[in-house]
A and B are shown apart, each in its own frame.
Chain A
């Protein structure tokens, strides 16, 4: 029987332990289950595997450009500077945690289907990249807590936690989604949801009499930021320039050595080149993500539709952008402002007091989650609501990633982290739950999952299904005013 052991060991070590092959196999199996022609099965599986390898290639480029920046920030401020970019941290972390997270992803998806089938939480989370990020984040914090030997336990607990969060968050956001879209057919499937709900609530409190953002005429000037390559490179050039110039003034010799320039001009341009390299790396990573998801998500969705017919699809944040394009712009700008203000607070107070890392504002997360917060804020509080909602979101996505870094273990030193709100609070809660002995950690994780499912189910039945409309008083006020004017 020795040959059998050898074969199993080969499959285990050389195939199932290599994330790229594993993702390719999962995709191929999913496509086979949907009875796609064999050519599409082979092509899809191979493309998904190669997409994962592209991800790794991009991670190398990004890390090479982030390292000098990290050194520079540490040298001038004495604190760690971090740029939260989900794609980057995922690409870096998947080298070590890729195989574990692939199992968490598949099992977590099945757990979600079970919850969607048997609880009131009838949502199918379809935002593939956020599924991948959350699976990886959970694999990292659980592995840090349980230890590497217990990877089977990480997979089981991680899958439960992933499945739970994918049906719970859409339920909590649904009253606002109904308000924004006007019906109950689509849900929010994006892990910035805590920020959106906060924006919706803040908008309701502050914008009691404010009119909608969509009655403002806005210039089209900021729409170029939708192009993520431009937005990423631009924000990185800004960040690099600030710290290169600061470095040249404060510690010219160290700055020149870190960036590798002979004089001030060469140092600045070396920083500029590094910033563009970061944009290049992110573009490569995004190409990889796109290639993986283009194959993986359809395979998943096809299966989900057969198991839970009639469930609402929970979709990516840009799905709400067309409902309030001006709200998106306002939310983005105020979110960015909120990020800068919070960065100042961390630098002056929270870093010296608690050792929180400096979270630098990235254009891409502020555009997408800030824009979403603007739409949610506008739905309940008009112009003022959109502005306040965006700002609140900016504060949240700057504080939470800093806190999350504390539970990421070694990965916390890689100058990047997960950016969106739910990664922050959920990752931190799970990370703190598993800090103690393994048994206690498992119990606390199950408790967390149970509390979330019960709370969301009660919310779904008592609030969402009974048709609560956030900001109804303002609607009544505006309607009355309009009637009075007419």
Chain B
């Protein structure tokens, strides 16, 4: 499974989101077959074509628009519990 973590520049907050997503996946024991990548808003649409899941903030959702991957809004990038909770339904399917 490929997951893309998106922020404006793709080097600061998205790396943070990537780390916390990996942590959440490890806690669920689902890190073996998941690959998390950080991306900026410009390349996110391209990256989302081959991904299963896009994680981003509420403000950037409209910029990403309609993509084949499922888009999930994360309100607090530092909150592993929130990420876990939002990822669980997707992982368990």
Contact = CB atoms under 8 A, between A and B. Distances in A.
A129 B11 contact: yes
Interface in B39-56: 39-43
Given A226-B41, A286-B40, A301 B11 contact: no
B78 A316 contact: no
B19 A298 contact: yes
Nearest to A39: B32
Contacts of B38: 290, 293-294
Contacts of B62: 220, 223
Interface residues of chain A: helix, strand, loop or mixed (majority): helix
27 contacts: A128-B11, A185-B78, A186-B78, A223-B62, A226-B59, A226-B63, A227-B42, A227-B63, A228-B9, A228-B40, A229-B40, A229-B43, A286-B40, A290-B10, A290-B38, A290-B39, A290-B40, A294-B15, A294-B38, A297-B16, A298-B18, A315-B12, A315-B16, A322-B58, A322-B75, A364-B9, A368-B9
The 7 residue pairs across chains A and B that have the minimum distance between CB atoms: A316-B12, A229-B42, A226-B8, A227-B42, A298-B19, A129-B11, A227-B41
Contacts of A315: 12-13, 16, 78
Contacts of A54: none
A230 interface: yes
A283 B62 CA distance: 22
A256 B22 CA distance: 53
A146 B12 CA distance: 32
B11 A313 contact: no
Interface residues of B, number: 28
Interface in A173-229: 185-186, 190, 220, 223-224, 226-229
A313 B78 contact: yes
A73 B58 CA distance: 42
B59 A322 contact: yes
Contacts of A283: 42
Interface residues of chain B: helix, strand, loop or mixed (majority): mixed
A318 B5 CA distance: 14
B41 A129 contact: no
Nearest to B36: A294
Contacts of A129: 11-12
B51 to A, nearest CB: 15
A126 interface: yes
A286 B59 contact: no
A372 to B, nearest CB: 12
Contacts of A321: 59
A127 to B, nearest CB: 6
Given A286-B40, A294-B18, A294-B37, A226 B78 contact: no
Interface of A: 126-129, 185-186, 190, 220, 223-224, 226-230, 283, 286-287, 289-290, 293-294, 297-298, 301, 313, 315-319, 321-322, 325, 364, 368
A414 B70 CA distance: 44
Interface string B1-36: 000000111111101101100100000000000000
Nearest to A40: B31
Contacts of A293: 11, 15, 38
Contacts of A325: 59
Nearest to B12: A316
Contacts of B77: 319
Given A128-B15, A298-B22, A322-B58, A286 B10 contact: yes
Contacts of A224: 63
B24 to A, nearest CB: 13
A285 B59 CA distance: 25
A318 B12 contact: yes
A318 B13 contact: yes
Nearest to B18: A294
A261 B75 CA distance: 51
A432 B11 CA distance: 31
Given A226-B59, A227-B63, A294-B37, 10 more contacts: A223-B59, A223-B63, A228-B9, A228-B40, A228-B41, A229-B43, A297-B19, A298-B22, A317-B12, A368-B9
Contacts of B18: 294, 298
A290 B44 CA distance: 13
Nearest to A298: B19
B91 interface: no
A325 B57 CA distance: 12
A220 B41 CA distance: 16
A315 B78 CA distance: 10
B13 A319 contact: yes
A297 B7 CA distance: 16
Nearest to A292: B11
A230 B15 contact: no
B81 interface: no
B66 interface: no
A319 B8 CA distance: 11
B77 to A, nearest CB: 7
B63 A301 contact: no
Contacts of B19: 297-298, 301
B16 A316 contact: yes
A297 to B, nearest CB: 5
